[in-house]
Structure 1
Amino acid sequence: MPAVSTPQVPVSRRRFTALIAGAAVLGAPSLRAQSGNRLVLGQSAAFSGPAAQLGIQFHAGAKLYFDQLNGKGGLNGTSIEIRQLDDGYEPDRCAENTRKLLADDVFALFGYIGTPTSVAALPLATKAETIFFAPFTGAMGLRNPFNRIAFHMRASYNDETALIVRQLTNLGLNKIAVFHQNDAYGKAGLDGVTLALAARSLKPVATATVERNTVDVAQAVDIINAARPDAVVQISAYASCAAYIRAARKAGFGGTFYNVSFVGTQALADTLGPEGAGVAISQVVPTPYSASRPITREFLAAINEGGNKVQPNFSSMEGFMAAKLMAEGARRASGRLSRDTLIAGLESIRGWSMGGFNVSFSPSNHVASSYAELSMITAGGKIRS
């Protein structure tokens, strides 16, 4: 954001509502039409540690959208900014960050990264009645039961694992093992694979775990290789998945590897280098590497306009789209912008094409999309969808 000559006071959720109410009493213009106001979103995410690229890239994409929106006048003169706090992909740190953000009265919580961290944060957001928007997770436990303040842009892990299992079984690869994180994220992915296999009267031939934020995969490799699976579905972040792939192949595994989108596709490809060839990943947003959809063209044009400081990848693309979806909900809010009017604005989004990516909310459904497709890392380290 360019420097300004007068100090700016961030507009929080309650302060925003109170100031507008005061303006109405005084007969002054609505705050939304005044310049120099900031609407602050709070984000706790991994910006350090083995999962750092997930938070860094998602935040970069979201900030790119909001910065360019702000450069065009924002939302009726109000700019949108993100206050970011690093939780290292650890639930306890995320909970503490969330308490800080709520104490500072941010307007909404936005773009949290991961299942175990979101599981720690959502009850705090619910108690504070603060919107929890577009977490980077597909866990069903964050979606069911329905929560009025929680909005999800991406498809669920059940959607992604159903696609993976369908692809594998259609190829005649029925001996499927699961390597997963030993936490809520890993369990969510394992449940999705197990459910999809059960629909075909199958079950995982082996399962093994890795602790979050570690790469100690030796025991998991021994357990799963002993079952001689055709394929291994991985439910972890890029560092541990890369370590597993290398170790499993070194130990003689010749099958295929499939990952869900949370792995961090570009980070996984960068970590594996030439060893990434043939590794498959399910995706929940369109490819950022081919300008076949208007949303991708918009994203790439924004990167170019911003001086090419943002790396185009699936994680930054998802951040960009999440920011665009929140801004659309705010545009549709009737009257003064508050928690309730933003919720109503978001729930009015029905069958909206976000540049060729269809999204829908309603008063009884806060999951915008079930879109999932498969991609693969090529021998040259590119991502092909």
Structure 2
Amino acid sequence: MNAILSRAGLSADQQRALCLDTIRDEVRHTRDKLEDALVSLRCLEEVIRLARGVHKSRMPLSVLVPDVQAPLVLVATTTGKLDEAGLRDLHSLIGTLLEKHPGSTGSFRWWHTKLHRFIQENYNVPSKSSLAVQAEVVSLLEEVQQWRSTQDFNVSMMDKTMSVVGRALRDPFDAWKPREDSRLAEVIGHLKMCINSYRDSLVQRRRRGDINAWLGQMSGCSFTPTLNMSSIPPARPREFFFSRSRNFKSLDEINEGFKLIAEAREENSFGLLTTALYSFLVKAPLTAHDLLPLHQLRVFNENVEELRRIGTEPAHSIQLQSYQELENILCLMRALMRKWPEYEECSVEAVEAALSRFPPSKRPAFVFPISAMTAKS
């Protein structure tokens, strides 16, 4: 391009025209490559169809894999260049074939990434397609709401759910803002809770990384309370709901936790402070003989009260993860209050400060344990 612009004897208009012609040639060359990829995909589908026939499959591929059927019909009947919808369907086909038949992953992943970037930069998903994705999210939400223990779900169910979430946050939509959708946020919240029930491994770390990245993309407007803070709290909240973390083992570790909280306060960031507070409290032991001293819990409460004054940005500019961590903090505080009634007596201001940071329409219903037990009796 610099060589073109530096050509002597060309006027500004001639240089612009020359640049435009060069760009058109590059676009034409890129489209030719995409058409070559389309031909390859047709051949691949034919190979898969014949292979299934050799193995005496009882039904054709388009029936075995419904998600592939529509793109295959388009590919089979298209004689010229694909339009915008065709490009989107082609991208969907590549992704589905990669998932269902992961034999040649190298070239597939390369084309999948390349084509996705092209579509994402140039086209939006029409409203009709976004409604289909939203319907999938609603269906998944009904499913994940039943995941009360590790007996209710498995890895394949999680991967299926994560695939839909990833697609919802990856593709641009004309008439839907998935980052502000409370249904999608709740699905991600359940995924976050469920991933904590598995032992650490490289695969789980990858999944956890994806989930945390999604939480970072979601707006605070999408938050919906999911934890029960009205009934009598359990003797110990299940680790299913919280990040795995060992308890404090020494006074030095406790002091280090308070130091991190102080550093977050200095940054005047609501998100950093909620993360530091949650990381501290999730390590607080809940067994009767190991409870943190009351004076340390008072110091913790003083830091929670600082939430009133720190980072007063609106909900739409706050990440979903911050509200979820704040909800977890309140839930853990209730568990400590049940073990130590004196802690409940000195926590009223801290609880009010934490609740005040939620949007009024999304504020969790919080009942102090003594009140919950009195109501039960």
- Please indicate, yes or no, whether the TM-score normalized by the shorter chain is above 0.5: no
More strand by share: 1
The structure whose Rg is larger is: 2
When normalised by structure 1's length, the TM-score is 0.30
When normalised by structure 2's length, the TM-score is 0.31
More helix by share: 2
